[in-house]
Structures are given as C-alpha cells and as structure tokens.
Amino acid sequence: MLLSLRGATVRFGGRAVLDAVDLEVAEHEIVCVLGPSGSGKSTLLRAVAGLQALDSGRVSLDGRDQAGVPAHQRGVGLMFQDHQLFPQRDVGGNVAFGLRMRGAPKRQQAERVQELLDLVGLPGAARRAVAELSGGEQQRVALARALAPSPRLLMLDEPLGQLDRSLRERLVVELKELFGRLGTTVLAVTHDQGEAFALADRVVVMRDGRIAQSGTPLQVWQRPADAFVARFLGFENVVEATVGAEAADTPWGKVPVPEGAPQGTRTLLVRPAGVRLVPAGTGLRCTVTARTFKGTHVAVHLQPEDAPRLEAACALRAAPEVGGEVGVEFDAAEIAVLD
C-alpha cells in the first residue's frame, strides 16, 4: 500500500476531529473522501501531509512510519482549497518552487515548468502574474505546482470548490483523464458528491471524524451504508421500516422490497424514481406541495396524510400542478434496504 492510516486520531480540545481512522490507498488509485464540513476530511489530509500531528495512531507511506518526519520531507503534494499561490512570484516561479527546494538545476526546472503548463492547458503562461489569473487558471497553476516535483501521493483539498458550476464539471473530467494518463495516486476531499463520483475510483464517506462507508461510486450510490450516507447523498425518502419477505411496513403503508433483502427493523431508502405517480384514488393519497425543475426531470414534493414527505422524480410533461391530489405507488427496483 502506498498510503496507510491505522487508528489515526486527532483531538482538538478533547473533541476527536479524526477518530481512529483506518484508510489505505493503493498506487495509481484515486480515492475521494466525501463528507459535510466539519467531518474531519481536511484534517485527514493535513495529518497525511505532516501539517497536523496525530494524537495517536500512525501514518505510513510506502510502508514507512511517518512519525517525526516533517512536512517538507514527506514527498507528498497538497493542493490547497484556495490554492495558496505565492503572490510575489509569477506563474513559473510558483510551479518551479518545489523543484527549487529539491535543488533541481535551472534548465531542468524551466523544462519541467513548460511541460506542466502545457499539461494543465496554460502554455506560455510562465511569466504571468498570479494576481491576474482567473479562478480556473489559478486552479490549474496550483495543480501544476503540486505535480511538478512528481509527488508519490497527490492530495487535493476541495480542488474545485470555488469555481462556478460549468467550469467545475468540465475540469473534473479533465482531471480524471490527466490523473489516469500520468498514473498519479490521488487522495482528494470534497463535500460535493458529484465531484467525488466523477473523479474517484473509490469513495470514502466521512461523518464526525469516522469513516461511514467506503466503496466504488456505484456501490455507494446504489447501497448507501446508512441513513446518514443516504441523506448526505441527497436522498429524502429515508424511513425506519419493518421489512418482511416481499414488502415492508412503512409510514407510507406497504412498500415492496427487492428479493433477498435483509429482514427485520431496517432503514429503507426509496429513490425518487421509485415513487410512481398514479391518478388520485389509487395508491397512497398525497398533496403536491412543490415542484422543482432539475433539468432532465422534475422533483415533485408530496405530502401524504399522517406520513413523512416524499420526493418523486417525474418526466417534465407529466408533472402535476402544485396543490393537486395524486396517488403514489412504489417500485421495488428503486428501493434499497440499508444497514
């Protein structure tokens, strides 16, 4: 394993910000740590980088314990959330910084700077001042700077956090391609699930300093480990239910479950696509409280009588009016039993 954390714990004033975290990252793997703010994901990166001392546990790189190895000798790269480019140096000076610290000869520095600026799509920008760069360009320079010394592990802290949405969606694809081509090992943290799913080979969801779930994007998306992960991924229809062989008892009535689902008192997730709207009078009776357009579909918010709200996904044309009455039926294929 390139990176391995064993029982890594960091406490701030008695509160465990990182709570006995075990994590492994293999070479060439792209791992995304996903979690709400305050879940300890930035602290995780800082602990690996050597910027934050552990209270207990260990961080190993290439099997070697990193205790007592200061940040500047760990040979890992870290791209900061707001880039932290050195304002008094130009783009080239920023990218060459790590090489200079390692005593690389001037010519080699210049070649590498050119190579990396080409790579991140900013050819010929070496003499430009950092202050005149746009947000997206700054992000590219920060990436080039972190990559220049060829770190064995590249860490990204909210790499696209401050960019606007369309740029973010384009850059995340570029990054994935680039890391694949270079074979870079990446540990990234983000609070944006879209970013994590697009970038990662493996997603690690964190909650209150602990790892709540780890798996491929598809695994995590299809079977969130628990109600917290499901809600964090944006699912609203999560309830306690008593699961039987073919159906579960829920506040919404009988809901069919997929074959082979675990039985007993469980958390049930109904994906919006699994909430089918039918004419009023059949199924569960609901009032439409709101509709929001999501581009490809409409999210319809429904209020049943004496039960938690439901979110349904439905085609643009078929969306009912706010205030209207509809019936609801459930589709077993879009239902997951958690825990």
Partner 1 sequence: MDLTRTEVAVGKRGAAARLGLIAVPVAFFAVFFAYPVAAIVARGLKADGAWHLGRIGEVLAQSDVRHVLWFTTWQALVSTALTLLIALPGAYVFARFDFRGKQVLRAVVTVPFVLPTVVVGTAFLALVGRGGLLDELWGVRLDTTVWAILLAHVFFNYAVVVRTVGGLWAQLDPRQEEAARMLGASPLRAWRQVTLPALAPAVAAAALMVFLFTFTSFGVVQILGGPTFSTLEVEIYRQTSEIFDLSTAAVLTLIQFVAVGAVLALHAWTVRRRETALRLVDAAGTARRPRGAGQWALLGGVLVTVVVLLLLPLAVLVQRSLDAPGFGYYRALTSDDGGVFLVPPIEAIGNSLSYAVAATAIAVVIGGLAAVALTRRDAGRFVRGFDALLMLPLGVSAVTVGFGFLIALDEPPLDLRSSWILVPLAQALVGVPFVVRTMLPVLRAVDVRLREAASVLGASPWRVWREVDLPMVRRALLIAAGFAFAVSLGEFGATVFIARPDSPTLPVAVARLLGRPGDLNYGQAMALSTILMVVCAVALLVLERLRTDRTGEF
Question: Binders of partner 1 among 91-110, rule CB under 8 A?
Answer: 97-98, 101-102
Closest separation in Å from C-beta 261 to partner 1: 44
Phi/psi region, residue 286 (left: phi>0; alpha: psi -120 to 50; beta: rest), is beta
Between 42 and 193, CB nearer to partner 1: 42
Closest separation in Å from C-beta 72 to partner 1: 5
Between 21 and 261, CB nearer to partner 1: 21
Question: Binders of partner 1 among 262-291, rule CB under 8 A?
Answer: none
Residue 149 found at the interface with partner 1 (CB under 8 A): yes
Of the candidates 147, 171, 155, 136, which has an alpha carbon nearest to the alpha carbon of residue 94? 147
Between 157 and 311, CB nearer to partner 1: 157
Choosing from 16, 24, 84, 161, the residue that interacts with partner 1 (CB under 8 A) is 84
Q: How far apart are CA 221 and CA 233, in angstroms?
A: 8
Q: Which tokens go with 42?
A: 């930035």
Residue 129 found at the interface with partner 1 (CB under 8 A): no
Question: Binders of partner 1 among 41-80, rule CB under 8 A?
Answer: 49-51, 53-58, 65, 67-68, 70-78, 80
Between 102 and 309, CB nearer to partner 1: 102
- 3-class state of residue 79 by DSSP: strand
| Number of residues near partner 1 (by CB under 8 A) | 34
Tell me the CA distances in angstroms from 93 to 80, 122, 126, one per residue in order: 17, 14, 8
Strands (E), the chain: 3-12, 15-25, 30-34, 56-61, 64-65, 76-79, 153-157, 186-190, 202-207, 210-215, 238-243, 247-250, 253-256, 264-270, 275-278, 284-293, 298-304, 310-314, 325-330, 335-338
Q: Distance from first CA to last CA of the chain, Å, rounded?
A: 29
- 3-class state of residue 229 by DSSP: helix
Between 53 and 129, CB nearer to partner 1: 53
Between 99 and 268, CB nearer to partner 1: 99
Residue 152 found at the interface with partner 1 (CB under 8 A): no
Q: Which residues bind partner 1 (CB under 8 A)?
A: 49-51, 53-58, 65, 67-68, 70-78, 80, 82, 84, 86-88, 97-98, 101-102, 145-146, 149
